[in-house]
Amino acid sequence: MINKTYRTSLEALQDVKDGDVIMFGGFGLAGIPQNLIRALYEKGTKNLTVISNNPGSRLGDDEYGLAVLFKAGRVKKYIGSYPTATKSFKELYDKGEVELELVPQGTLAERIRAGGAGIGAFYVKTGAGTLLAQGKEIRIIEGEQYILEYPLGADFAFIKSYKGDIYGNLVYRYTGANFNPLMAMAADITIAETEELVDAGVLDPGTVHTPGIFVDRVVKGERYDRWYE
Amino acid sequence: MINKTYRTSLEALQDVKDGDVIMFGGFGLAGIPQNLIRALYEKGTKNLTVISNNPGSRLGDDEYGLAVLFKAGRVKKYIGSYPTATKSFKELYDKGEVELELVPQGTLAERIRAGGAGIGAFYVKTGAGTLLAQGKEIRIIEGEQYILEYPLGADFAFIKSYKGDIYGNLVYRYTGANFNPLMAMAADITIAETEELVDAGVLDPGTVHTPGIFVDRVVKGERYDRWYE
Amino acid sequence: MIAGMSEKDMARRAAQEIEEGFYVNLGIGMPTRILDFIPEDKTVFFHTENGLLGMGGFAKKGETHPDLVDAAKQPITCIKGASFFPSDISFAMMRGGHIDLAIMGAYQVSEKGDLANWTAPGMLPSIGGAMDIVAGVKKIIILMTHTTKDGKPKIVSTLTYPVTGFKCVSMIITNLCVLDVTDKGLLLKELAPGVSLQEVVGTTGTKVIVPEGF
Amino acid sequence: MIAGMSEKDMARRAAQEIEEGFYVNLGIGMPTRILDFIPEDKTVFFHTENGLLGMGGFAKKGETHPDLVDAAKQPITCIKGASFFPSDISFAMMRGGHIDLAIMGAYQVSEKGDLANWTAPGMLPSIGGAMDIVAGVKKIIILMTHTTKDGKPKIVSTLTYPVTGFKCVSMIITNLCVLDVTDKGLLLKELAPGVSLQEVVGTTGTKVIVPEGF
């Protein structure tokens, strides 16, 4: 009897350690693993490398999602596409307290997919000739300039689904998928929090977005904040 | 009012011409565009380059699917992973009447996806050091040998779905997806035949497998053969 | 400072470039106002790079969902015939040449159609999807004020801001005019109501080709 | 020719290598017989490269569907908790190192674990997913007869058939014995009932390391 579920978010991530590389699904606040983020904050893990489209989100004067980890000084390096999403990141960056690897959003998605799919490296036109191509290998393919991009991997991926079953099969909702299914493939250990947890056989096999093979642990999220009225 | 539907398979492919490169979805007989294949046979188009996992399928003494095009001498080149699926291909090949580019199945899928996703080229370990790597560029990445693979494109992709709407959104069934969603992305013109044709808004946006942007024409398949008892 | 078109008028003008059945990506900010000027009977599929084709308008209070947002993280709705997908597929649509049109803002555009719209010297850089868009979308239209707030030209001979993409812009719509980017340079296509040719030429940092009739 | 284990016994022996919760790809032919020897209470996810995790058994007459087949194009069923996906994701599972175990046939295996199982000199070549499997699956077990039909060794010092992959095989199960592929060479692990050490050594085309106790 296989059952990948954990009782609490904190138990699900008990073996995360200082210095780990962690991918976090989500775009803005859509599809972020908010319970795993809270649990990781409680646990106090530090010196993290965070891979995520944005380092948290700002709504009005408040910051949500990953911002809590940055503000608490737990992150030494951030890899993503949209660091200006929060003021807290900018403050740390200006003080030289966090390292930044800026990656175009589509290249970020593709590098993560490559990490999960056994692609050794790939060429894209995105960014060719710009500041973001500095130090990258160039190749001319059919008369156009491409740059070489390498895969991204991680010790853990923290992802979020709408529905999940005990085998780790996941279904996302609306724009909640975004980077989640890619990160599920790319990390050594993938932990999925899910709004609804169901038994094997409840999800229609044809509508599963992330097959359970890519998911090591599943936990029913303790609390789901809604940020919009 | 956008409506991508055509009245018949023959009308949907009226502008295919001799010498075109055509991708055909399907694995074995699952998910093959059987009505488009029949219509293309009727139309008489020749000198085709066919990209498909297998050049038709053999069940008992009979051959189905793409075999009809090969037998009629319409194909000058075949790119795929499993040419031994039919006797008719072997006969043509032995007589030197068809050219073969043999591609490992996973590399075939990835090259087609690359063609649709704007990836200029990519590295995989698959086939490194074997006969299928002959003439291919080698790169050592983290101590392991990879070979460089280029994208595949086509003039047309002929694909098959279970359900499709008038905008070209498609849903596949069981193992009927296989190469279909990838080919939809990779060809200049994608024609989808579908078992059931529905109006816009009938399909749940969260269960659409191929977004309509990748599909230019949709036709309700005239006849669906079932090959198994 | 010369007024020319309002933001609303600029959005209305840009909306005219959107054809029936187009797949369109709208940048954050002013371009999202274009949504208000698409006629009800015109089918257009708006793409948001976070994973939706068929964005509707913004969601009303009480009808928002935290998992349904646009690229600017605003709560939105979706139309009949929409579809959701993960980020790799969303960017395959852009980089792979499937999106018909993107309409974005800019810091600078050069006479060759080079674009600078992702960062400025001294800023914390963010890139989002801007470079992916210019790497593959079939047509790029820039919607921006003709000059900076302090009256400096944003349309220039050579970019001084960091480049997003080279030779990627097809058309520029500003409060003063509409310009086509051609092999020969920037071609004046329309003047905004009440704006003179001299005003356009005087506030453009490079040569403008003026056809007969202006 | 020495009989040793029947095909059924070989499949039963191979089934023992499959652990609870494993994601497993079975090659066409003899390996599919392993399905018959997985206990009801053991959860195993069988992968078919045409896009299914959680293959059940073969479909009965009247319960087949043309869109539900395995990699050998046979009509099949699926288990509770199965999932379907396109070919790129299916091969990402293999090449990306997510499948725990693949059990395949072979023409030849070398003492280093090099594998030849895709084509033979003079044959029309077909490759299917064989090279993708050996490029990424965590563990490869070969299930085959110890010798060719005319008694020639299939386990050799160096392959003479075209290579599928290098140093990729971990274990060989034949009708005569079970061998582990180690850094030092092929290590005898088990003899089939009624088979002598001399029979194994005499029909193997390279050195077999025989631990004490045999």
Residue whose entry in the numeric block shows the structure tokens 């087609």: B112
Active site residue D49: yes
Length of chain D measured in residues = 214
Q: E strand or H helix at B36, and its extent?
A: helix B34-43
* Amino acid, res. B178: N
Within its chain, how far is the Cα of A111 from the centroid?
A: 12
For the record, the structure tokens of C197 come out as 């040719």
Tokens of D19: 């652990």
Residue ranges of chain C whose CB lies within 8 Å of a chain A CB: 48-52, 59, 61-62, 64-69, 73, 75, 78, 84-88, 90-91, 94-95, 123-132, 135-136, 162-166
> Min CA distance, B117 vs chain C (Å)?
4
Record the tokens describing residue C56, joined without a space: 């509707």
d(CA D150, CA D194): 21
Q: What angle do CA B73, B179, C43 make, to 5 degrees?
A: 105
What CA–CA distance (Å, rounded) separates A161 from A219?
10
Q: At A32, list the tokens.
A: 């972020």
What does the pLDDT look like over C101-160, one tens digit per residue?
999 999 999 999 999 999 998 899 999 999 999 999 999 999 999 999 999 999 999 999
List the single residue in C64, C130, C162 with the smallest CB-CB distance to A228. C64
- Do A206 and D23 lie within an 8 Å CB cutoff? no
Residue with tokens 């609390």: A223
Say how far residue C53 (Cα) sits from the centre of its chain. 18
Q: Whole-angstrom Cα distance, residue D130 to residue D116?
A: 10
Identify the bridge partners of residue A194 per DSSP, sorted by sequence position. A161, A220
Give residues with Cβ within 8 angstroms of B15, minimum separation 6. Answer: B189
Strand order in the sheet with C101-104: C76-84, C52-58, C45-48, C23-26, C101-104, C139-143, C171-173, C177-182, C185-191, C208-209
**Hey, which chains touch A, using 3+ CB pairs under 8 Å?**
B, C, D
Residue of chain A nearest B143, judged by CA positions: A120
Which residues in chain A touch residue B195, judged by CB atoms under 8 angstroms apart?
none
Distance between CA atoms of C24 and C38, rounded to whole angstroms?
12
Asked whether C208 and C174 are in contact (CB, 8 A), the reply is no
3-state DSSP assignment of residue C60: coil
CB proximity list for D117: less than 8 A, separation 6 or greater: D104, D105, D106, D107, D108, D130, D142, D164
Q: Are A120 and B138 within 8 A, CB to CB? A: no
Nearest to D67 by CA among B174, C151, A140, B19: B174
User: Which residue from C66, C62, C146 is spatially nearest to C108, judged by alpha carbons?
Assistant: C146
**Torsion over CA: C15, C19, C21, C26 (sign):** negative
User: How far apart, in whole angstroms, are the C-alpha atoms of residue A209 and residue C85?
Assistant: 9
Q: Which of B10, B82, B33, B7 is nearest to B187 (CA)?
A: B33
**For residue D33, pLDDT beyond 80:** yes
ipTM of predicted assembly, 2 dp: 0.98
Strands A119-124 and B119-124: what pairing? Answer: antiparallel
Label residue A56 exposed, middle or buried (CB < 10 Å: 0-12, 13-18, 19+): buried
Q: How far apart are CA A154 and CA A23, in angstroms?
A: 6
CB crowding B177-186: b at 16 or more within 10 Å, else e = bbbbbbbbbb
How many residue pairs bridge chain A and chain B with CB atoms within 8 Å of each other?
58
- Looking only at Cα atoms, what is the longest distance across chain C? 54
> Does the beta-carbon distance from A213 to D97 stay under 8 Å?
no
pLDDT band for D1, please (50, 70, 90 cuts): low
Beta bridge partners of A198: A165
C-alpha C203 chain-centroid distance: 20
* Residue B158 near residue B191, CB atoms below 8 Å: yes
Please indicate whether, in this complex, the C-beta atoms of A2 and D41 are within 8 angstroms of each other: no
Q: Give per-residue pLDDT as tens, A1-31.
A: 799 999 999 999 999 999 999 999 999 999 9
Furthest-apart CA atoms within chain D: distance in Å: 54
* H helix count then E strand count, chain C: 4, 13
The DSSP letter of residue D162 is P
Contact B49, B21 (CB under 8 A): yes
Nearest to B225 by CA among D64, A75, D138, A51: D64
pLDDT tens by residue, chain B, 229 residues: 799 999 999 999 999 999 999 999 999 999 999 999 999 999 999 999 999 999 999 999 999 999 999 999 999 999 999 999 999 999 999 999 999 999 999 999 999 999 999 999 999 999 999 999 999 999 999 999 999 999 999 999 999 999 999 999 999 999 999 999 999 999 999 999 999 999 999 999 999 999 999 999 999 999 998 888 8
3-state SS class at C72: coil
Question: Is the Cβ of A121 closer than 8 Å to some Cβ of chain D?
Answer: no
List of residues 6+ apart from A168 with CB closer than 8 A: A4, A190, A192, A210, A211, A212, A213, A214, A215, A216, A217, A218
CB B201 within 8 A of CB C80: yes
Query: What are the beta bridge partners of residue A102?
Result: A80
In whole angstroms, what is the distance from residue C161 CA to residue C153 CA? 12
Rounded CA separation A218/A216 (Å): 7
pLDDT of the residue at C1 = 54
The reply to whether A65 touches chain C by the CB within 8 Å rule is no
Using a CB–CB cutoff of 8 Å, tell me whether B185 touches chain C.
yes
Note whether D138 and D99 are within 8 A (CB): yes
pLDDT at position A228, please? 84
Alpha helices in chain D (DSSP H): 7-15, 87-95, 130-136, 197-203
Element (DSSP H or E) covering residue C12? helix C7-15
The residue of chain B with its CA nearest to that of C99 is B213
> CB of C99 within 8 A of CB of C93?
yes
Which residue shows structure tokens 């050219």? B99
Got the DSSP string for A27-94? BTTBT--HHHHHHHHHHT--SEEEE-SSS-EEETTEEETTHHHHHTT-EEEEEES-GGG-HHHHHHHH
Residue of C nearest to B170 (CA): C83
pLDDT along chain A (229 residues), means of 10: 95 98 97 98 98 96 97 98 96 97 98 98 98 97 98 98 98 98 98 98 98 98 91
Residue D90 identity (one-letter amino acid)? S
CB contact under 8 A, C127 and A81: yes
Distance between CA atoms of B104 and A33, rounded to whole angstroms?
37
What is the Cα–Cα distance from A193 to A202, expressed in whole angstroms?
A: 17
Nearest by CB to residue B120, choosing from A124, A173, A207, is A124
Q: At what angle do helices D87-95 and A105-117 cross, to 10 degrees?
A: 60
Positive or negative torsion for Cα C29, C31, C32, C36: positive
Q: Do B122 and A124 touch (CB under 8 A)?
A: no
Q: Does B165 touch chain C (CB under 8 A)?
A: yes
Enumerate the residues of chain D whose CB falls inside 8 A of the CB of residue A169.
Answer: 81, 83
Is residue A34 within a helix (H) or strand (E), and if so which, with residue range? helix A34-43
Residue to mutate among A112, A123, A124, A140, with most B CBs inside 10 A, is A123
Residues 6+ apart with CB under 8 A from D213: none
Residue tagged active-site, from C17, C49, C190, C199: C49
User: Three-state SS for C201?
Assistant: helix
SS3 breakdown of chain C: % helix, strand, coil, rounded to 5?
20, 30, 50
Q: Which of B82, B90, B104 faces D132 most closely, judged by CB atoms?
A: B104
DSSP state of C171: E
Q: What is the pLDDT of residue C184?
A: 96
The position carrying tokens 């018909």 is C100
Q: Does A180 touch chain C (CB under 8 A)?
A: yes
| Contacts of C155 by beta carbon, 8 Å cutoff, 6+ apart | C108, C109, C110, C111, C146, C172, C174, C179, C186, C204, C205, C206
Residues of D in contact with A205 (CB under 8 A): 52, 54, 78, 81-84
pTM to 2 decimal places: 0.98
